[in-house]
Amino acid sequence: MFDTYHFYETMEQNDILLLYKGNITSDLVSSLLHMTEARLENMDEAPKIKRKVFNVLVECLQNVYHHRDQGESFEGGNSAILMLGKKDDDYFIVTGNMIFAKNVEGLNDRLDRLNKLSKEELKLAYQDVLANKGFSEKGGAGLGFIDILRKSGQRLDYRFQKINDEFSFFSLKVKISQTAQIK
């Protein structure tokens, strides 16, 4: 169904703090955030990095919840995956969800453009979206990926895997390093 190599390779090579696969609901998002907050609180880590990891996780989960696509022609269209882990001093968050195949090109182009922006350009893009955009039909203003890039300080690693003519599986991996900054 999805790029299992992308996820299982990550699992095998790292310390997994949280792993979920299944249907996504608003109650589940809240539960996952509470569990993660508790796990991070018990870790010997600087408060700043804990906040950064938690804030990026919030954005990633909101992205999965609000922008997953469902349809009659694909069973399990509400299903998603989430993984939070740590390797050495870096945290990573991996999410995956179904999207309509017709949206792949636009999302790919947008992520490519955002990944090329400098730290200052991301700040300007964030301000521009706030000043000029309203909310979309799914409730967002288009700030999620910009926010993830700004907070993580890392480029986004993403993939699309075609499922059928109507759906693709979108996977996103975000690395959160204590030292890295977008230049």
The whole-angstrom separation of Cα 23 and Cα 57 is: 17
Burial 9-34 (b: 16+ CB within 10 A, else e): ebeeebebbeebeeebeeebbeebee
Kind and range of the H or E element at 72? none
Domain boundaries 4-176, CATH class = alpha beta
pLDDT at 146 over 70: yes
Q: What is the dihedral of CA 7, 11, 15, 18, to 10 degrees?
A: 60
pLDDT at 46 over 90: no
Q: Is 40 exposed, middle or buried (0-12, 13-18, 19+ CB in 10 A)?
A: buried
Residue type present at position 88: D
17-31, 65-79, 105-119, 148-162: segment of lowest average pLDDT: 65-79
Question: Rounded to a whole number, what is the largest CA-CA distance in the chain?
Answer: 47
Q: Is 98 exposed, middle or buried (0-12, 13-18, 19+ CB in 10 A)?
A: buried
41-50, 88-97, 140-149: segment of lowest average pLDDT: 140-149
Domain boundaries, the chain: 4-176
pLDDT tens digit string along 90-145?
999 999 999 999 999 999 999 999 999 999 999 999 888 888 765 455 545 568 99
Residue type present at position 15: D
- Over residues 52-60, the mean pLDDT reads 94
pLDDT band at 59 (very low <50, low <70, confident <90, very high): very high
Cβ atoms of residues 98 and 70 within 8 Å: yes
pLDDT at 72 over 50: no
- Over residues 38-52, the mean pLDDT reads 88
Return mean pLDDT, the chain: 83
